[in-house]
Each structure stands twice: as C-alpha cells, then as structure tokens.
Structure 1
Amino acid sequence: MGIVGNLSSDQLQSFNSQGYLVIESFSSSEEIDAMRKRMDQLLDGFDCSSTASIFSTKNQQQSTDNYFYESAEKISFFFEEKAFGDDGALKQAKQLSINKVGHALHEIDPVFKTFTCSEKLTGLLSSLHYKRPVIIQSMYIFKQPGIGGEVVPHQDNSFLYTEPTTCTGLWLALEDATVINGCIWAIPGSQKDGLVRRFIRDENGVHFDKPSPSYDQKDFVPIEVKAGSLVVIHGDLIHQSYENQSSKSRHAYSLHVVDTDGCKWAQDNWIRRKVSPEPLYVS
C-alpha cells in the first residue's frame, strides 16, 4: 500500500527541533461533532454503578485494577479523582465525572475508527517515516470543568516502550484548549535528552523504574490550540497539563502510535494484548 506523506519540510524541521508540532484545522467541524455525539451516546449507555475505576497520573499504581488492564482491548470508563464525595457517591452527573474513555476506541467504535484510519492520518505517519504503524491505544479525554485532573510531567515512551523507541502521540483538540481550561504544556527540545524512565508492569503491579526528575516550571510553554487542531508529540518530549479549575471542559481525542517494522514491543509494558493489533498500513 502506498502512503504519501503530507508534512512539509518546514513542519518536519520544526517537529524535530521542538519535539511537537501543531497542525491547525486537521479535523473538520463535522468530524468533531461526530466524535462528540458518539461519546455522548457511549456515556448514556454506561452503567456507572458497575465500576468506579479512577484514573490518576499521580497514584495509578495504587488505583490500578483488572478493569484498567483489560481496557487495552475494550472501551472502558475512568472517573476523575475528585468526582466522588466523602460518601462515595458521585458529586455530579456521570457526564461531568469521567476523566477519560479508553483504550481501544479506535478499534471497536466505527466513528473513532473512521478518523483513526483516515488518509490524512496515515499520510502524517508516513511523513514521520513509519513503516508499519500500529495505534496501540486511544483515549477520549474530558478534562472536566472544575475537577479535570492534573497530568504530571511525563514522556509517552515511558508507557509504550519499543526497542528502538518509536512512540508518537497524536492529540486532537475537540474543544479549544487554553491555559485556562488545561491545555498541554511542554519543554521544547526536551526530546533530545532521551528517555528518562519507564513505567513497567511486573509481579508488583505497575510502577516507574526510577523516581521522577525535578522540572523547572519556567521551562514549560503552553500549547494553546483551537478545536480541530492536532498536536503531534514526540515520544520523548516532556509534557504535562494542569488541573482544569475553570467552568469550561477541554475534550480531546488522543492516539499513540508505535512502529512494528524492526521494532520490539517490551513485554513489561502495561498493555498486554491477547490479539496483536493490525497495522494501519505496510509501506
């Protein structure tokens, strides 16, 4: 299958220099509306009494359960840490309590699969020199108003490690993302320093193999984008987002891709698939 790259030389140079690239108007309003409406339907059908799994980038090793592990091949729902009151009940409607939905939307749901397998996305991956790309996980992230949780500084290669490292994050804004409602912040050029630590799964559960380095918050710059913009994130880029304490949500659809051409998936990654995912294409 022949895939034609769609990034210019200037865009590639900027990505290689900064570690991230913003592509404005990557998705149309019709595509955005379709994904948001489909997520509304999925949430309407979700029985929140059946699970209360919480997602946290600070304490995930304490809150990880089989529901989290099995989400690698399912559509699963994870609550915000601050969604529950002292009595254990939700403080607001479930639609305003979910942190994210993951991690196989791109495989199971036809609306999200359509975007994930689109020619513009495969063309982008071709520009980044992927030979046999696989979307290893997908997430619909809500960043809820008032309670949208902080995402601490991290690198995507830590969680989705291949030898050699090949992970790239694709973050599509479904709403405007600003410093007010919790946009991404990144340290430009930090990908050049390589991978700092890994998030591994073993007999003790999931945990990092090393403590987190200390980062100077002055080094981070905000990546504010309009709805429909795609942020391409190098797997070694240090990035984060703050809590959303505003009255506006910040919905996004996030994908992570790795290459399976001459690259080995680490067996101690948290994702352990029973069935290997199909590549988007073979160049």
Structure 2
Amino acid sequence: MTTETTAFTEEELSQIRSKTVEIMGHLEKKEMIPKSWIRDGHEIDANDQRSDRCMYFDTHGFIKVDQFSDKKEVEALRNQMGSLAEQWDPSSGIDSFGTDTKENRSRGDYFLESSSKVHFFAEPTALLDKENNQKELKPEYQTDKLSALNKSGHAMHMIPGAFQNYAKSEKVRNLVLDLGWKDPVVPQSMYIFKQKRIGGTVTSHQDSTFLYTTPKQSCLGLWLALHDATLDNGCLWVRPGSHWESTRRQFKRNPLHFGKEAVKTRSNEANGDTSAPKFEMEDLDGVQQIPWDGAIPEGGYDALLEAGFVPVECKAGDLLAFNGELDHLSLPNFSDKPRHTFQLHMVEGDRAGVTWSKSNWLQYPAGLPFMRLVE
C-alpha cells in the first residue's frame, strides 16, 4: 500500500470519467435495500416511508445533493475563512497536518486543544522546523498565510457568521432528519483547503474511526464543495456499499499518557506517562481489516477502481453526505486550482440513546455541550 500518487494524464482522466459514468449508472439501477444504516441495519417496514435520497443513502452509504448551497453562501463561507486566516497570528500556535498513522499518533497539545476552538494546521511543506520542536511558516507564506494551510478546525460551527448560519440552517437540519437521524448533534467541523499543487493525499479512512459512538456508530459527514472538486484537484473517492462493513479502528486518547481516570472524565490533563504518545490508533477486535486502510490501494487509478472506489466530482455548492463507516479518500491536488471544502460532522445525541465515546480524541470542556440541531 502507498500514500504516493502522480497526476493523471488526459487519457487517464477520460478513461476514469467514462468508467465513473458506468459505475454510477449501475448504482442508480441497483435495487434499494430495505434497511437503515443509522438504525443499526434494522429492516424498514412498509409503513415507514423513506425518500428516494434516503433509500439511495442507505443502500450505497452516500448521496450527492447538487447545488445544496448557492453562490452567495459559498462565497460567504470562503470569505469568513479568509478573514479568520488574516487575523491568525502563526506565532501564537501552528502545526502541520497529515493523515497517515504516524502523523495521527504524534499530534500534540495544539491539536488536542482545537476541539472546541478554531486552530490552524499548515501543509508540512509550508513549515520550517525550529528549536524545541517549534515550527514557523516559510518566508514565502509569511504574507500569504491562507496558501500555507491544510485545514482549520475543529469548531468552525461555533463561530458566529457564515459557518454557524450554515450549520444551523433549516436545509441542513431537514437533510439530516430525512436521512434518518433523530437527535443530531455537531461535535466537529473543519475547513479543508487542498491547496493548489501542494494539497496532499487524504488516505483511506472511515469517519467513525475519529468520531466513535456507542452502542452503535452514528457519524454523518456533510462535505460541501466551495470550489469545483475534480479529478485534477483532488475530489473525493468513495467506496459504495462499504458502510455495511464495521468500523475497523478507533483513534483515541492514550490512557498511558493521560491516565485512565483522566480519560474517563474527559480531561486534557496528563496524569500518566507524559513521554508516551497522546493518541493511539487501535485496531478493533473481531473486524475484518482491509490492506489499504490508512493508505491507498497501490497501482494507480486501476487499483482504486478495482478496490471498489469511485470518484465523485462536484461543482462549487454541491454536497456529499455520507455515513461514518463509508470508506473514502482523496488524492493530491496536482492542479493550479484550489479545492476548498467545509465539512460538518454530526452524531446522534443522548436523546437517541447514543453516547459519545469518552476515549475519543475530541472532548469539549466540562459544561460545554455539542450543538444540537433539533431543540
């Protein structure tokens, strides 16, 4: 398995798009399954009316909603991000961001403390290493901070303005309820930049790995394109039907570092061996693993298609909704065009009998609840 790829040739782009049309046509014709993912695979009876998009979502694990946001809203989201980046002082805190297992385990306090705040994470290639494990922007990014960023998170939805307005909008609430969620709450939101020419691979993963709930998985991702997302600039690839596979891994707080009691109480205070990594990626028992988890299938686009992945190109304003067990990834941005996205992640709340795992990396301070979409 690998995390390295190269840009597609024009011939390859044509072949991939032709194959994608064929695959998407088969998905449309496939008989819709009579069970609900968010209801833990329970059968849907004849009296339970589901919309066409809900049936497609339950069958394939994702749904694309064309022009979910209009140009005005897309521009407002991009503009608010631009303002936040302009106000950001890199000397007050900065780190890089990547998605392989080593990078996940080595995250530090800046990442940990971003759970209920907005922190900024740069592309590794945009940073210089300084003494005492400190980092700073390379000179060429000192006056163009936005172009250095990989992502910003993880509480964009808690900032008044375009991000919060979108998260609390009636259309978001209606979509989530239509897909079967009963008590949706929002623990996390992110702005992903996928910068032109330097935006890197996001390896194969399931979102429930990072947003784990009990007694069942309940994560829903809303992936909103703020620029056209294409094969050239790193659109999302999904593996239809993979959402019926169990969650394979959990990214969690390491009890060796924090101490078992601190994990139980959701505390950020380290009461264990502080030389141990803060986080660990645990393979879950009794679950069939896949060879490319945390990487991508090796062998170019043929290997991706052979593994069952299909690219989903989007126009700015299009939305992809997918559940937390859908396997997905994105390739680097080799183009001269950016590919910004805004992502909301929600889970079922306690009114639906679902509990946020105390060992999840993301924990809000005591007394601060997740945003609830249905009061």
- Give the TM-score normalised by structure 1: 0.92
Instruction: Describe the superposition over 1:110-157 as per-residue Cα deviations: whole angstroms up to 9, x where unpaired.
Output: 221001000000001111222221111000111001111211000001
Structure with the larger helix share: 2
Equivalent pairs counted in the alignment come to 276
Task: Give the deviation of 1:17 after TM superposition.
Answer: 1.5
DSSP 3-state at the match of 2:374: coil
Alignment correspondent of 2:213: 162
Q: Which 4+ stretches in 1 moved above 6 angstroms?
A: none
Q: What's the counterpart of residue 4 of structure 1? A: none
Are positions 1:201 and 2:222 aligned together?
A: no
In 1: Cα distance, 2:88 partner to 2:281 partner: 31
TM-score (norm 2): 0.70
Paired position in structure 2 for 1:179: 231
* Deviations 1:205-259 (CA, angstroms, capped at 9, x unpaired): 2121129731442221101010000100111000000111211110000010001
Residues 81 and 149 of structure 1 are in contact (CA less than 8 Å); yes or no, is this contact kept in structure 2? no
Gaps spanning 5+ residues in structure 2: where? 1-48, 131-135, 258-276, 298-303
Shift of 1:85: 5.3
Q: Pick one of 254, 277, 283 that aligns with 1:210.
A: 283
Larger radius of gyration: 2
Corresponding residue number in structure 2 for 1:280: 373
Of 180, 183, 196, the match for 1:129: 180
Identity between Structure 1 and Structure 2 (%): 39
Structure 1: stretches of 5+ with no match in the other structure: 1-6
Matching residue's letter, 1:147: I
Correspondences of 1:51-90 after superposition (within 5 Å) = 51-58=93-100, 59-84=102-127, 89-90=137-138
**Contact 2:195–2:333 (8 Å) recurs in 1:** yes
Other structure's SS at 1:228 match: coil
- Once residues 150 and 247 of structure 2 are traced to their aligned partners in structure 1, the CA distance between those partners, rounded to angstroms, is 27
Q: Secondary structure at the match of 1:72?
A: coil
SS in 1 for 2:345: strand
Which residue identity lines up with residue 237 of structure 1 in the other structure? L
Q: Which runs of structure 2 are paired with 1:1-283 in the superposition (5 Å)?
A: 9-58=51-100, 59-84=102-127, 89-90=137-138, 91-92=140-141, 93-163=144-214, 164-202=216-254, 203=257, 204-210=277-283, 213-215=290-292, 216=297, 217-218=304-305, 219-260=308-349, 261-274=352-365, 275-282=368-375
C-alpha separation in 2, matches of 1:236 and 1:15: 12
* Greater shift in the superposed pair: 19-28 or 49-58: 49-58
Q: CA RMSD in A?
A: 1.8
